[in-house]
């Protein structure tokens, strides 16, 4: 009769998509993860690479519309560098933080890292303090 075309996968919430794939790979000690490539997912992968949660990543372009990102979590002695990345803000609930609150949190966080969405893009909490800005907390790496 006729074939139904395959509908493209739509990622509703990019941070949770990338973070959940990372957490699954870290808990199972996988050496590679393959995720769908979008502009937003590439931004989140780049910030995770910048903070050291991801050792390396490759963007694979294909002829079809489904480009992929292959990434490798960082491990130290067969244990992931960041055991858990906690997704803080959801589409329905945004957690904002001011510069003053960031300065107070800096001592409490110790080895943890917050990733914020600021007017300067996705940055760590240390970079946000350096740029003297607050933002929306996306996730916490611990």
CATH topology of domain 11-81: Ribosomal Protein S8; Chain: A, domain 1 (3.30.1370)
Distances, alpha carbon 119 to alpha carbons 36, 43, 46, 133, 138, in Å: 26, 14, 17, 8, 14
User: What is the domain class of 88-142 according to CATH?
Assistant: alpha beta
HEC profile of 67-116: CEEEEEECEECCEECCCCEEECCCCCCCCEECHHHHHHHHHHHCCCEEEE
* Each residue's pLDDT tens digit, 9-55: 677 889 999 999 999 999 999 999 999 999 999 999 999 999 999 99
Among 41, 67, 63, 38, residue whose Cα is nearest residue 54: 41
Return the domain boundaries, the chain: 11-81, 88-142
* Each residue's pLDDT tens digit, 45-88: 999 999 999 999 999 998 877 899 999 999 999 899 998 899 99
Q: How far apart are CA 41 and CA 56, in angstroms?
A: 15
Does pLDDT of 8 surpass 70?
no
Cβ(125)–Cβ(109) below 8 Å? yes
């Amino acid at each position: 009769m006729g074939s139904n075309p395959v509908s493209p996968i739509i990622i509703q919430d990019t941070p949770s998509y990338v973070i959940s794939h990372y957490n699954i790979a870290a808990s199972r000690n996988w050496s590679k993860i393959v995720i769908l490539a979008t502009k937003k997912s590439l931004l989140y992968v780049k910030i995770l690479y910048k903070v050291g949660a991801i050792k390396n990543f490759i963007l694979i372009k294909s002829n079809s519309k489904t480009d992929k990102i292959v990434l490798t979590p960082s491990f130290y002695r067969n244990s992931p560098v960041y055991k858990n990345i906690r997704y803080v803000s959801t589409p329905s609930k945004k957690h904002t933080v001011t510069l003053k609150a960031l300065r107070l949190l800096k001592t409490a966080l110790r080895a943890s890292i917050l990733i914020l969405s600021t007017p300067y893009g996705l940055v760590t909490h240390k970079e946000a303090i350096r740029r003297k800005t607050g933002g929306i907390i996306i996730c916490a790496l611990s």
